[in-house]
Amino acid sequence: MKKIISASVSATLALSPLVSDACTAVNVVAKDGSVVAGRTMEWAFDMKWELVANPKGSTISMTAPASMKLPATNLSSKYAFAAIAPGVLQGSPAYLEGQNELGLAISGNFLPGFTEYQTVTPQDKKYVSVINFGGFILGMFGSVKEARAEIPKYKVWYDPSEVKGIPTPPWIHYVLTDRSGDSIVVEFVKGQMMIHDNVAGVLTNSPTYDWHINNVRNYLSLTSTATSSVTINGTNVTELGQGGGLVGMPADYTPPSRFVRQAYLKQFAYKPNNSIDAFQLAGHLLNNVDIPVGVARSTDGKQVFSDYTQWVNLKDLKNNRMKIANYANRTNFIEIDLNQVFKSGKSKTWQIDKLPYPQNDLTAELLK
């Protein structure tokens, strides 16, 4: 089975060198119950990422493929939310990252080679395009428990003829996390919706979540406390420096390696005291998967492309605060008080690369 999975992943990457994407998501829960959900977004070309504020009552389009000629429904969002979408997409924004006013967050990561969306039939009454799925989650649900119960009632579909502007099909799996710390992973495999408890508090890319959970069992010997010395033939040999317990932890940028790195580093790190400390820990964890331009390349003929960390987003789900940094300002996070943004009732859009870095707090600017 592992050989089959490995072959499938290799074939996908070999046939699709332009669509690699190395996103990583991690959840951190503090001693006081605060939850920070962080993620990196990697891509090989500029997606014109946009941060969008959606007030309560925003329209969420629920449609079936046009060929089905089934009735469309426009929902009015129950909750205000702020989310990030690729600006290159024509039509409805595809939200791959965000949080709503009740502290429910979503992050969408690339899952090529394994994603197969559901098929809508003439008998179906509830359906939503994967393009609108992120907005549907953030606008209509206040907790993971609620979303877990309701989303299986809907068919989630994708039709390439109805999506324009993005360079690759949206093969996506999602991690949903709320301010209680409850978290699930939603995938679409063999035409079925699969929901997993996010026991690791981590998500990367292909293969599927259950495969990653099995794979971390290959690294049970990793430890945060190394052997300081051993005696060999009567000679005491001491360690060269701390960290030897992590010898063997994979350091490359493949999805399995990033998953292992995040899962174990998160496990070994001291539990933060509060949301401020959780912000710091999430940032440090994600620094371990940050990709500089040029170190993760793919080729298509004579063209060379490099995945790189285009932005990082940290979400404080208890206090509705968000921190964003793009590639050019990786150590200068802009902070946003989303409670004020939601309270304003305004709908606004900002390009992430054009935010006024290195300002520390952007809330007042957003409310102008």
Instruction: Judge whether 60 lies within some domain.
Output: yes
Q: Do 12 and 28 form a contact (C-beta atoms < 8 A)? A: no
pLDDT of residue 124: 97
Cβ count near 132 (within 10 Å): 21
User: Containing domain of residue 190, as a range?
Assistant: 2-213+269-366
Q: Name residues whose C-beta falls within 8 Å of residue 105's C-beta, 6 or more positions apart in sequence.
A: 37, 98, 99, 176, 177, 178, 315, 317
Instruction: Judge whether 13 lies within some domain.
Output: yes
Nearest to 182 by CA among 197, 200, 164: 197
Burial class (CB in 10 A: 0-12, 13-18, 19+), 314: buried
**What are the phi and psi torsion angles at 105 (to 5°)?**
-120, 155
Residue whose pair of structure tokens reads 């290959």 in the numeric block: 218
Residue whose pair of structure tokens reads 């959840």 in the numeric block: 27
Consecutive sets of 10 residues in the chain, 368 residues long: mean pLDDT of each? Answer: 36 40 93 98 93 97 97 98 96 96 98 97 98 98 98 97 90 98 98 98 98 97 85 82 86 96 97 98 97 89 90 98 96 94 94 88 72
- CA–CA gap between residue 368 and residue 354 (Å, rounded): 16
Instruction: Judge whether 243 lies within some domain.
Output: no
Q: Name residues whose C-beta falls within 8 Å of residue 156's C-beta, 6 or more positions apart in sequence.
A: 117, 118, 127, 128, 129, 130, 133, 188, 193
Q: Do 283 and 23 form a contact (C-beta atoms < 8 A)? A: no
- CA–CA gap between residue 336 and residue 32 (Å, rounded): 22
- CA–CA gap between residue 323 and residue 337 (Å, rounded): 9
Instruction: Judge whether 244 lies within some domain.
Output: no
Instruction: Judge whether 227 lies within some domain.
Output: no
- What kind and span of H or E run contains 185? strand 183-189
User: How long a stretch of residues is the chain?
Assistant: 368
Question: In CATH, what number is assigned to the domain containing residue 72?
Answer: 3.60.60.10
Nearest to 194 by CA among 209, 204, 177: 209
Residue whose pair of structure tokens reads 């949903």 in the numeric block: 176
Total tally of structural domains belonging to the chain: 1
3-state secondary structure of 190: coil
- CA–CA gap between residue 120 and residue 303 (Å, rounded): 38
Instruction: Judge whether 226 lies within some domain.
Output: no
- CA–CA gap between residue 225 and residue 258 (Å, rounded): 21
Nearest to 65 by CA among 12, 128, 3, 112: 128
Instruction: Judge whether 164 lies within some domain.
Output: yes
pLDDT of residue 4: 35
Residue whose pair of structure tokens reads 């939601």 in the numeric block: 342
**What are the phi and psi torsion angles at 247 (to 5°)?**
-60, 125
pLDDT of residue 60: 97
pTM, to two decimals: 0.91
**Tokens, residue 230:** 């051993």
Q: Do 64 and 27 form a contact (C-beta atoms < 8 A)? A: no
